[in-house]
Amino acid sequence: MIRAIALVLLAALAPLARAEDVWQPLIPASAKTFDVRDFGAKGDGTTNDSAAFRAAAQALNEAGGGVLNIPKGAYIVGGQTHEDGKFPYYRAERIVDLKGLDGIVIDGHGATLRLAPGLRYGSFDKNTGERIDPAMPFLDRDCYVSVGSMLSIRQCSNVVLRDLELDGNNSTLVLGGEWGDLGRQLEGYGICMYANTNALVENIYTHHHGLDGIIVGWTGLKETDPPTPHLLRNIRSEYNGRQGLSWVGGRGMTVINSQFNHTQRAAVASAPGAGLDIEAEDSVCRDGLFVNCEFIDNAGCGVVADSGDGGYTRFVDCTMWGTTMFSLWTKKPGIRCEHCALFGSVVHGFGSPDPDKATQYHDCLFEDREYPGKGVYRSAAVIECGGGDNILHENCTIRATGTRALWIDGGETREIFRGCTIINGFDTADHEFVTLLRGCRIENTRFLETYPKAHPKAYYVALGNVDVGPGVTLAGPCVKWANWSGGLTGTVEEKQW
């Protein structure tokens, strides 16, 4: 019965081509069904319905699982209480808090849950409730004032969340001082999921939360532990304070047809401000797959994988667009992009003697194209990397107009460019390099340029410890190989440069 949910979900997480077609929610006949309006919820956009949602959640917990229907409407939720002698001064009330259940379906039917206006968020004096602005970092939990999570699901299996809008309403928060390391690292999630297995989250619009639209984690997980499959489909997570999606632990995260955009573009901002942050916290992140997803116009990086035992994720047909920070920042193993568009500078990369662990790009477009009305983030080059063994760019196009195309400073390592097209169009000062290559292997790659006819300036490709294989050409005439005056154009000799 309940196991049927798990079996169907596991099938959906199998071959990529089947993920869109196989999932059919199977609700066991014996599962109890609850309706939040039976617990007193109004859904009229005015009444605070938190008590009704807590009562419904308690009924689910007592039943060991079941189905919670939320009829279409606008439900105001969230609250804070104060009790003399208890800290912090303002304490968040829970909304939907489920733990240790097998078989949960929360069906929103297109309903909206909106956080009540006027809640406090940040650091507040524990005795008076007044705002304080402590020196950072600040970790005194007696001053920790949060708004909680709209949906908190922990230690559950066979979970379905669908057809909901979760509005964190962060423009109405009464902000206290900062808490944590950077910003306000306080609970303020649309969906908070920890230590769950076999979870489907689909057709969710989660936005304007104090922290993350969605966080998925599993503390203490090891690489040898069994998979913990999660499938997120048709998610739109935007205008949140810290991340669209934080993945902080798990083995098996598949995300399809989803957008994680405009982080920190509303009333609250906390680092790192990414669309997606892969950051294992006392855990591992493994077997990630993102298909047809967007990470656009986030104040931080579009995607960041920088700390913890994580990485290990494929991106297929995705768009990363950095307007004020890098489109992709990765220092972790196993990141692979296929048929992706990366607008705005890309930084770092992970090198390894094991090619499967090294960062890989296949059939990708890299370009410093501006996002309409927002611009684009340009660093030293469209691709800026300290180099690393077996970092691979295969059949990729790198096009530069407002910065250099490549800044690869690998020293004795071997970053690989194979079958690529590199288009230089950066109008810098006379006789400067427009591409830097140190510690690379290049083969079957074309260097082109887009300068106007009779352009008066001359540039060059700067080289150091570059292994040139067959099929490398440089069109010229403005850009030449090795130096601006007597350098090569046309076919480049196969040798060490």
For residue 290, what is the domain's CATH number?
A: 2.160.20
Q: What angle do CA 291, 385, 357 make, to 5 degrees?
A: 55
In this structure, are residues 410 and 436 in contact, taking their beta carbons and an 8 Å threshold? no
Residue 1 lies in a domain: no
Distance CA(261)–CA(194), nearest Å, equals 23
* 344 Cβ contact partners less than 8 Å away, ≥ 6 residues apart: 302, 320, 321, 322, 323, 325, 326, 327, 368, 376, 377, 378
> Comparing C-alpha atoms, which of 201, 88, 179 is closest to residue 142?
88
Residue type, 104: I
Task: Tell me the one-letter amino acid at 132.
Answer: I
pLDDT tens sequence for the chain (497 residues)? 334 444 444 444 444 434 444 444 455 667 899 999 999 999 999 999 999 999 999 999 999 999 999 999 999 999 999 999 999 999 999 999 999 999 999 999 999 999 999 999 999 999 999 999 999 999 999 999 999 999 999 999 999 999 999 999 999 999 999 999 999 999 999 999 999 999 999 999 999 999 999 999 999 999 999 999 999 999 999 999 999 999 999 999 999 999 999 999 999 999 999 999 999 999 999 999 999 999 999 999 999 999 999 999 999 999 999 999 999 999 999 999 999 999 999 999 999 999 999 999 999 999 999 999 999 999 999 999 999 999 999 999 999 999 999 999 998 899 999 999 999 999 999 999 999 999 999 999 999 999 999 999 999 999 999 999 999 999 999 999 999 999 999 999 999 99
Within 152-296, residue ranges assigned H as helices are none
Residue 370's nearest CA partner among 267, 277, 297, 287 is 297
- pLDDT at position 26 is 53
d(CA 148, CA 145): 9
Peptide bond into 71 cis (omega under 30): no
Q: Which domain holds residue 426?
A: 31-491
Whole-prediction pTM: 0.94
Closest by CA to 168, choosing from 155, 181, 186, 183, is 186
Residue 19 has a pLDDT of: 43
**Distance (Å, whole) CA 365 – CA 162:** 33
C-alpha dist (Å) from residue 15 to 12, 19, 235, 296:
7, 7, 20, 27
Query: What are the backbone angles phi and psi of residue 328, rounded to the nearest 5°?
Result: -145, 130
At 305, the amino acid letter reads A
Angle at 206 between CA 40 and CA 246, to 5 degrees: 125
Count of Cβ atoms closer than 10 Å to residue 64 Cβ: 14
Question: What type of residue is 21?
Answer: D
User: What tokens appear for 138 in the block?
Assistant: 């600040």
Q: Establish if 269 belongs to a structural domain.
A: yes
Collapsed DSSP state (helix, strand, coil) of residue 287: strand
**DSSP readout, 222-266?**
-TTSPP--EEEEEEEEES-SSEEEEE-SEEEEEEES-EEE-TTSS
Beta-carbon neighbour count of residue 220 at 10 Å?
11
Q: What pLDDT, on the 0 to 100 scale, is given for residue 268?
A: 97
Task: Kindly report the three-state secondary structure assignment for every residue of 427-481.
Answer: CCCCCCEEEEEEEEEEECCEEEECCCCCCCCCEEEEEEEEEECCCCEECCCCEEE
Residue 418 domain-assigned (yes or no): yes
Would you say residue 8 lies in a domain? no
Tally the domains of the chain: 1
In this structure, is residue 11 part of a structural domain? no
Whether 20 maps to a domain, the answer reads: no
Measure the CA–CA gap between 276 and 279, rounded to whole angstroms: 9
Predicted confidence at residue 411, as pLDDT, reads 87
| Residue 250: inside a domain | yes
Tokens 């532990």 label which residue? 225
Peptide bond between residue 88 and the one before it cis (omega within 30 degrees of 0): yes
Rounded CA-CA distance 169/266 in Å is 10
Kind and range of the H or E run holding 8: helix 2-12
User: Looking at residue 360, what is its pLDDT?
Assistant: 98
Euclidean distance between CA atoms 194 and 263, whole angstroms: 22
In contact, 200 and 162? CB cutoff 8 Å: yes
In a domain, 18, yes or no: no
